[in-house]
A and B are shown apart, each in its own frame.
Chain A
Amino acid sequence: MTNNQLTWMIGGSQGTGVDSSALLFGRACTLGGLYGYGNREYYSNIKGEHSYFMVRVHQKIIHSPLSKPDLLATFDAETVIRHALSVNVDGGIIYNSELSNVKLTDIPTLEHRVLEDLVTYLDNNKLEHSVNGILEASRRNGVHIYAIPYGDLLKEAASTLGEPKLSNLTRMMNTMAVAASFGLLEFDLSVLDSAISRTFHGKSKIIQLNMTVGKSAYDYVKGKYASGFQYKLKKVQTEEKRVFLQGNQATALGKLVGGCRVQTYYPISPASDESDYLEANQILKINPRRLSDSSNVEKTTYLEKNGGSVLVLQTEDETAAITAAIGAALSGARSSTSTSGPGFCLMVEGMGWAGINEVPVVITYYQRGGPSTGMPTRQEQGDLRFALHAGQGEFPRIILASGDQRECFYDAVHSFNYAERYQLPVIHLIDKTLANSTATYPMFDLSGIRIDRGAITNGENLNNLSSGDKTYKRFLFTEDGISPRTLLGTKGGVFWNTGDEHDEYGHITEDPVVRVRMMDKRMKKLETIDHEVPIQERLTLHGNEESDVTIVSWGSPKGAIIDAMDALNDENIHVNFLQIRMINPLPSENIISVLSRAKKTIGIEMNYSAQLAGWIRESTGIAIDHHVVKYNGRPISQDEVCDSIKKLVKYDAPKRLVLTHGT
């Protein structure tokens, strides 16, 4: 019996509600006191292509997928054909008994490569090229096959409810597949019912339909098959408040609480979900007790009544997105823009301009498969070098990389604080896996969040700023490189900006002496950041400091690495993990001190050339011993990390290991 540990998979063609049913499953598990981690894989397509969702469930918090499902829930033929052979031994497959005879060649969306591989496999095993053949192969592999007559069950439910149209609602099969899984797992049906109620909040009719078809599938499977299936889920009582959310939501929430008031964007996967979420929640609730100006009663009541709001501006392209965000930042709004690689290409000139004019702007950068349009909806961390070097000339920028949804939330706040404190562009690097995977976390703690708007001057002390000189100098030379800024509209604070090199007022200059001082002033900010930003916001050493083996990584592989460390501990292999969160300026001193203690270092990254490892070598002189890389567009799983570490620890080879799992 395996209790409360399961990897569940559902698939179907895009546009048929696969995502919703996976979220339903995940929500129900979370409501049942378990932790979930769901990864969504989809094509750059709206309708028809195959997509699937893996939900991993556990009693303790988990951060990554496993490579293979224990239970595959299907209601179409393509999902069986594509995924049945990957189900774990002793696992199960739920399938629609009406589809057993569907042939492989009936599925137009199967890639040639996939079709050829399957045909070879079936031929070698002398099996027919159909759902039946595939299921028989799985059965021989030790997988349990559970047939469900979806159509009949739907008809029955339709007549009980007196809703003849219901039998045509194939969408209901999603809920049935989830419910059938619950039946096999003997999980409490009431948990599913409450997840249904929450998912379809306010639509009582839909709730009733879903609950009814759900119950019929649940009862059918539980009665008929459950005793033979070894995986079970049980409700766990917990007092802990938990959230179940995606990276794009976590980032958006961080922006809201972090004071973002203008967000610009041009639609692109996988970035625009965040802007959509912001736009859907544009009107903010304001906590009036927090307003410092409490003497100003009118203002307080005003805000109390009307709240604040975020202006979400969909622009004509990404050049406009970043430049409009910069304009808004000059006026004084905390401003950001979100995009992925193709959009960032267009933003480069704007970022350089923000660099030379010292404008605080946040670019939330969702990496996806490149180059060019690449693989629009697939995972990659191929843009570290691009984020680091994009733009002509040299100017300071901060690059932050979040490793999980929780970090997306807090880093979104940090990004604005750094941008305003150091008056520069901040790139917040996220990736497709973080954006689109959904995970359970203990409720975020908001009590420690602080907003730091940096040096903004409002006119009263303007005349003293420039040491006796009556006119305000926007780019006053200072020790730490930071000059107090005014917002457009401030009396006495008139300044100029230009993309050309400029003097302290912001007027164009080509004077070689001023040039050097101005370059030095701007670049000085990197040193200031290096001194000021607490190290715990820049890197994290997970695990025992004294381990001989140190993993180095950044971004979403964090989840698989943390989960793998746990599993490896059980096998008496102890490694620690240096997670780099601030890519620029890189906390080199601390990296050197950690890496020089390790006997063996292993870099894990989701790109071809181990970009972070290269950047670390450039900045510290330390060459990481082994590189584990993955660039097939699919996320990295816990077991892939475990296997590679075991291999590298045991054999000390190869130097570069390429991971390829994923469908």
Chain B
Amino acid sequence: MALKLTDLKTSVHNDWCPGCGDFGVLNAIQMSLAEMDLEPHRVAVFSGIGCSGKIPHYINTYGIHTLHGRVLPYAIGAKLADPSLEVIAAGGDGDGMGIGAGHMVNAGRRNVDICYIMFDNGVYGLTKGQASPTLSLGLKTKSLSGPNINEAINPITLAMASGYTFIARGYSYDVRQLKELIKKGINHRGSAFISILQPCPTYNDINTMEWHGGQDRKDPATGKAMPRVYRIEEKGYDPSIHSGDADELNKKMQEVNSLGNQLGDEIPIGLFYSNETIPTYEERVAERLPNYLKTPPAKQQVSGPSGEPVADISALLDNLCMT
């Protein structure tokens, strides 16, 4: 029985501000899961803290709303204990690039098979609009008392440097592309990172839907808005790593960094990088623990019918035994 979109909705009242970019992400996630026919119990959506962090409550799958910045270690722990789970991690730019940056970087080098979706709105939404680590130097969004005093972190180049094997940029109001990116991210073997340009109409009055859509710059000839965001796949860009050799990797890395840095009047969105030549963490574990993929930690039976432990430690005790 194919899943319907409604199967993925909950009855929880959604309290995001009207027009918030988060709705687009929520729709895209629900559509992806429905199209992939992933039954709710097979999926666990983990999230951090922030407006974006509330997302699991609106999705009818296992929903684990964690701590500020800690979404990745929770998600990784759950996935490694049971690799058969489909694990999605979601969180804000403050969550992932600020308080959780250490986890974000270290998750990249592990390459656990999860999909991490980061909401880039340039602000700390839920705490009323302070500058987030992705807000550019000198910008003054609505609730800042002065222009931003810090340089911005670029999520794409940081993901590249950290070792993520799937890197994409999506846009909240291009739900169709976003849905495809999320599906690909879920299917990707390894850690997928999707940074989403997510307008916050309440606090970020600069990077708005209108701004992304180019409403402020009309084509003098046609009078039509010239959108800043454009789909990279429509330009024939190939995100894939094929051989995985050093030259290819170097070249692609430069391309991805350059795409990542384009955040002005031309903002590419789409899949920038996909590399399946690198083993996942689960595969690396399986090399050490032969039973790992068949009986991962969560699936191991640890006791017999009346609670007797099944682990036989007698050889270890004998090693320490002095007789």
Residues from chain B with a CB closer than 8 A to the CB of A326 are: 74, 77
Residues from chain B with a CB closer than 8 A to the CB of A311 are: 80-81, 285, 289, 292, 296-297
Q: Please choose the segment from A52-60, A443-451, A553-561 that sits at the chain B interface, where 4 or more of its residues have CB less than 8 A away.
A: A443-451
With A259-B302, A497-B63 as known contacts, state yes or no: A306 contacts B313, CB within 8 Å: no
Residues from chain A with a CB closer than 8 A to the CB of B323 are: 31, 238, 240-242
| Docked CA distance A249–B319 (Å) | 11
Per-residue CB proximity of B304-323 to A under 8 Å, as 1/0? 11111111111111001111
Contact B81 A451 (CB under 8 A): no
Min CB–CB distance B23 → chain A (angstroms): 18
The residue from B42, B65, B304, B322 contacting A31, defined by CB atoms under 8 A apart: B322
* A208 contacts the other chain (CB 8 A): no
Residues from chain B with a CB closer than 8 A to the CB of A585 are: none
Contact A291 B301 (CB under 8 A): yes
Max chain B C-beta neighbours (<10 A), residue from A238, A335, A451, A491: A451
- Measured CB to CB, the nearest residue on chain A to B44 is A488
Majority-rule SS of B interface residues: mixed
The residue from A244, A313, A331 contacting B78, defined by CB atoms under 8 A apart: A331
Within 8 A of B (CB), among A326-354: 326-335, 349-350, 353
Contact A245 B320 (CB under 8 A): yes
Contact B311 A285 (CB under 8 A): yes
Contact A443 B317 (CB under 8 A): yes
Within 8 A of B (CB), among A210-251: 238, 240-245, 249
Residues from chain B with a CB closer than 8 A to the CB of A281 are: 316
| Docked CA distance A285–B311 (Å) | 6
| Docked CA distance A331–B308 (Å) | 22
With A242-B321, A319-B70, A452-B307 as known contacts, state yes or no: A262 contacts B316, CB within 8 Å: no
Residues from chain A with a CB closer than 8 A to the CB of B285 are: 311
* A261 contacts the other chain (CB 8 A): yes
Residues from chain A with a CB closer than 8 A to the CB of B102 are: 316-317, 320
Residues from chain A with a CB closer than 8 A to the CB of B315 are: 285
| Docked CA distance A334–B113 (Å) | 21
Contact B306 A450 (CB under 8 A): yes
* A256 contacts the other chain (CB 8 A): yes
Residues from chain B with a CB closer than 8 A to the CB of A30 are: 322
- Measured CB to CB, the nearest residue on chain B to A286 is B310
The residue from A286, A313, A316, A500 contacting B311, defined by CB atoms under 8 A apart: A286
* B261 contacts the other chain (CB 8 A): no
Residues from chain B with a CB closer than 8 A to the CB of A307 are: 291
Contact A309 B289 (CB under 8 A): yes
Contact A303 B295 (CB under 8 A): yes
Min CB–CB distance B245 → chain A (angstroms): 29
Residues from chain A with a CB closer than 8 A to the CB of B316 are: 253, 256, 281
Max chain A C-beta neighbours (<10 A), residue from B85, B313, B314: B313
* A14 contacts the other chain (CB 8 A): no
Residues from chain B with a CB closer than 8 A to the CB of A450 are: 303, 306-309
* B56 contacts the other chain (CB 8 A): yes
* A544 contacts the other chain (CB 8 A): no
* A641 contacts the other chain (CB 8 A): no
With A350-B70, A450-B306, A487-B298 as known contacts, state yes or no: A306 contacts B290, CB within 8 Å: yes
Q: How many residues of B are counted as interface, with CB atoms below 8 angstroms from the partner's CB atoms? A: 72
| Docked CA distance A484–B42 (Å) | 19
With A261-B297, A316-B103 as known contacts, state yes or no: A323 contacts B77, CB within 8 Å: yes
* A614 contacts the other chain (CB 8 A): no
* A592 contacts the other chain (CB 8 A): no
The residue from A238, A323, A446, A489 contacting B73, defined by CB atoms under 8 A apart: A323
Min CB–CB distance A428 → chain B (angstroms): 17
With A244-B320, A496-B64 as known contacts, state yes or no: A327 contacts B289, CB within 8 Å: no
Max chain A C-beta neighbours (<10 A), residue from B54, B288, B311, B315: B311
Contact B313 A253 (CB under 8 A): yes
Residues from chain B with a CB closer than 8 A to the CB of A332 are: 81-82, 298-299
With A440-B322, A443-B317, A499-B66 as known contacts, state yes or no: A507 contacts B57, CB within 8 Å: yes
Contact B85 A489 (CB under 8 A): yes
Min CB–CB distance B162 → chain A (angstroms): 11
Contact B321 A290 (CB under 8 A): no
* A498 contacts the other chain (CB 8 A): yes
| Docked CA distance A495–B40 (Å) | 10
Min CB–CB distance B282 → chain A (angstroms): 10
Per-residue CB proximity of B71-90 to A under 8 Å, as 1/0? 01111111111101100000
Residues from chain B with a CB closer than 8 A to the CB of A440 are: 322
| Docked CA distance A325–B56 (Å) | 20
With A291-B304, A310-B297 as known contacts, state yes or no: A264 contacts B67, CB within 8 Å: no
- Measured CB to CB, the nearest residue on chain B to A440 is B322
Per-residue CB proximity of B33-75 to A under 8 Å, as 1/0? 0000001111010100100001011001111111100101111
* A27 contacts the other chain (CB 8 A): yes
Contact A320 B73 (CB under 8 A): yes
Contacts from B to A (Cβ < 8 Å): 10, 12, 39-42, 44, 46, 49, 54, 56-57, 60-67, 70, 72-82, 84-85, 102-103, 105-106, 285, 288-292, 294-317, 320-323
Q: List 16 A-B contacts (CB under 8 A).
A: A259-B302, A261-B81, A261-B300, A286-B310, A287-B312, A290-B303, A291-B301, A291-B304, A320-B72, A333-B81, A335-B81, A440-B322, A488-B82, A493-B41, A496-B57, A499-B67
Contacts from A to B (Cβ < 8 Å): 27, 30-31, 198, 238, 240-245, 249, 253, 256-259, 261-262, 264, 281-293, 302-303, 306-311, 313, 315-317, 319-321, 323-335, 349-350, 353, 413, 440, 443-444, 446, 449-453, 487-500, 506-508
Q: Please give 11 more A-B residue pairs, beta carbons under 8 A apart, in addition to A324-B77, A330-B77.
A: A253-B316, A261-B300, A283-B289, A290-B309, A293-B301, A309-B289, A330-B64, A331-B85, A450-B308, A488-B82, A491-B39
